[in-house]
Structure 1
């Protein structure tokens, strides 16, 4: 069974058993600068926010959902150091997480072993997709435990970094192919060329054709969170007002406002964690 087929079977079982909490949305496709942008608008966000607040009030300590992870979300063991699980709070399906078995800090540099696991995952999935990594809270990370994420390649055109990367500001773009050693060397080159320093957040996106790194100065534009997926043209809005604000201001302009280094140390997470 292909890993993707197994993930779909695990998703069905976990959903029926109540182990998943999908975020209900409706999608709009909006064209700006001849680029198709997708914005997913949440339904019932206030109710979900209230439920999360109640859960946080009862929590005594901040919980790491990856140590241990929920067995019902387990998809596959990738290697001795990494495991693939479902995202417990998916906006789309399938949405997979590649997590380290032991704690590795999300803000620390990726290792060759991380890229080896990423290569293995993408090869086993048997479908085109995007692997992405939010390195630090200012890049959209909500968990301090190392986790990469994978989604299928969006059906809409979206932002193609080979065509549109220069519109957004500073970045590093390479085409090393899907080879772990080459990816790791490109990643190190990207950190060097972007003058990365500890405490600097960034987004990393990886397809079979390219590796793309974007430095980040802020997690959001006008309180609208932007993670790695914003850079392929996929946005999330908590309500219609946020969606309208993004549309009116411009998606490219919103991305430009969050790109670039912010040199202060990465702050400790102060919000209720979610995957």
Structure 2
């Protein structure tokens, strides 16, 4: 993604914060360690605001068919950044410059990711790094049916696949499939081609995603690609996790949870994650692993 687009995003973010169109992020967090992995368990003010917005608006309840991406709010949208996608600042961001990359026309979130989805995501990953991710369906943490991926920039406390790198082979061949020994639930890591060329990376992302879905037995039916699943990409790897449920004891689990950031709706839920254990939360939202790592 060009420096001009990033500058535009930064300017847009400052203006939207000043106008109230973008909500500031206030957080309370604790670090938790589980089987050698470090998790940020974090309550953020924007998620409480998101919950409130989902049940009511001035004058009455929100239309259940309300689509915030068709069209997206002009104050949060980078105009003409992509021919196929709107690049939108996430109103309910979990960090600075948390982006939604949404189709300009409607398609279902449960439909499989396509080349055009990875093309726009690769523009950010190839040149800026960070983490790209996808909540494929409600049980995977998606709050909207309209097809979209998301991206967060690189930062020490942002979600990242870096927490898994110690147990993944650094010299793994591109396209090789791996499992992490600490994860007692179904998942697949696929090694990506490391490149700063967005077109080449896009092709690697699509191939890795299709391979992971095949390995995990995801299948198409009239609803879409099932079961619902999370896709995460960054740090030279792509991860896919099939999902069984969104909520574990009231705690919402989405793709960022599998990137080391478990976001909770109330400060009290931080202690509940501690009691259950971060990896147990992730496992209960997924499917029990049937094979050894």
Using the size of structure 2 for normalisation, the TM-score is 0.80
Q: Distance in 2 between matches of 1:142 and 1:242?
A: 20
Q: How does 1:1-275 map to 2 (within 5 A)?
A: 1-43=3-45, 49-50=51-52, 52-55=54-57, 57-60=60-63, 62-123=65-126, 126-156=127-157, 159-160=163-164, 163=167, 165-168=180-183, 169-177=185-193, 179-198=201-220, 199-260=226-287
- In 2, are the aligned partners of 1:135 and 1:141 still within 8 Å (CA)? yes
The size of the alignment, in residue pairs, is 259
Q: Distance in 1 between matches of 2:214 and 2:146?
A: 24
Relative distance call for 1:61 and 1:182 in structure 2 (3 A) is closer
RMSD: 2.5
Q: Distance in 2 between matches of 1:211 and 1:59?
A: 36
Relative distance call for 1:195 and 1:72 in structure 2 (3 A) is same
- In 2, are the aligned partners of 1:75 and 1:84 still within 8 Å (CA)? yes
How far residue 43 of structure 1 moved from its aligned partner, in angstroms, is: 4.9
What SS class does the counterpart of residue 79 from structure 1 fall into? Answer: coil
Q: Distance in 2 between matches of 1:50 and 1:204?
A: 27
Q: Distance in 1 between matches of 2:52 and 2:82?
A: 38
How far residue 182 of structure 1 moved from its aligned partner, in angstroms, is: 2.2
Q: Distance in 1 between matches of 2:145 and 2:46?
A: 27
Relative distance call for 1:152 and 1:195 in structure 2 (3 A) is same
Quick one: higher RCO (CA 8 Å, sep 6+), 1 or 2? 1
How far residue 145 of structure 1 moved from its aligned partner, in angstroms, is: 0.5
Stretches of structure 1 lacking an aligned partner (at least 5 in a row):
262-275
Q: Distance in 2 between matches of 1:192 and 1:42?
A: 35
Relative distance call for 1:194 and 1:41 in structure 2 (3 A) is same
Relative distance call for 1:212 and 1:46 in structure 2 (3 A) is closer
Relative distance call for 1:58 and 1:42 in structure 2 (3 A) is same
Using the size of structure 1 for normalisation, the TM-score is 0.85
How far residue 6 of structure 1 moved from its aligned partner, in angstroms, is: 2.5
- In 1, are the aligned partners of 2:46 and 2:93 still within 8 Å (CA)? no
How far residue 154 of structure 1 moved from its aligned partner, in angstroms, is: 4.0
Relative distance call for 1:211 and 1:49 in structure 2 (3 A) is closer
Instruction: Please give the per-residue CA displacement for 1:185-223, whole angstroms capped at 9, x wherever unaligned.
Output: 221111111110234100000115011101111112111
Q: Distance in 2 between matches of 1:225 and 1:119?
A: 27
